[in-house]
A = this chain, B = another copy of it.
Amino acid sequence: MKSIAIDMDGVLANVYSQFVRMHAEEYGKIITAEEMSGRPEGDVFPDALKFVNSPGFFRTAPLIKDCQKILEQLNLRYSVFIVSAALEFPNSLIEKQSWLNEHFQFINWKQIVFCGSKEIIKADIMIDDHFKNLDFFTGETILFTQPHNELTDPGIHKRVNSWKEIGELFLR
């Protein structure tokens, strides 16, 4: 059974929707898709660090479309691991754990990894929205499209734009 390491923020959890909502609450302005395109989150949202450290940021994040049903099917055919760089935001650990337990009841504790750097992760496939995680991974690398990476050439990584595309790739 092949193993898949799946990122949380920007792959399962819609963190952009949290950034946009909190930015609007703070500044009364809705940031558009065009404004976010191709720019690091920290450039688009000057308060990004404050937002991610706010209680509830991770706990109340919406799901990225279709991730629940496709992940449930992947979980039957692959050894699935949810791998999140949670140690960067110490308060996020409990929120992320609760969020996973709520939305992905088919994922058990043995399948969750909260790390700092992902260079210690070994799997056959990695799905992530950040080049810094994919670039040194030795298996098959899937770049999940998010506004910050959508203008960048994926290079050796395969780009997918949705969970539907992930299903088409891995559930045939």
Contacts and interface: CB of A to CB of B under 8 A. Distances in A.
User: How many identical chains are in the complex?
Assistant: 2
B117 A120 contact: no
A54 interface: no
Interface residues of A, number: 27
Chain A binding site: helix, strand, loop or mixed by DSSP?
A: mixed
Contacts of A86: 114
A158 interface: no
A81 B93 CA distance: 18
Contact of A114 (B3, B110, B115, B138): B115
Contact of A121 (B94, B114, B120): B120
A171 B120 CA distance: 22
Contact of A88 (B87, B109, B117, B121): B109
Interface string A82-115: 0100111010011001000000000011111111
A19 to B, nearest CB: 22
A20 interface: no
Interface string A105-137: 000111111111101111100000000000000
19 contacts: A83-B120, A86-B114, A87-B97, A87-B109, A87-B110, A87-B112, A93-B93, A93-B94, A110-B116, A111-B116, A111-B117, A112-B115, A113-B114, A114-B115, A115-B115, A120-B121, A120-B123, A121-B122, A122-B122
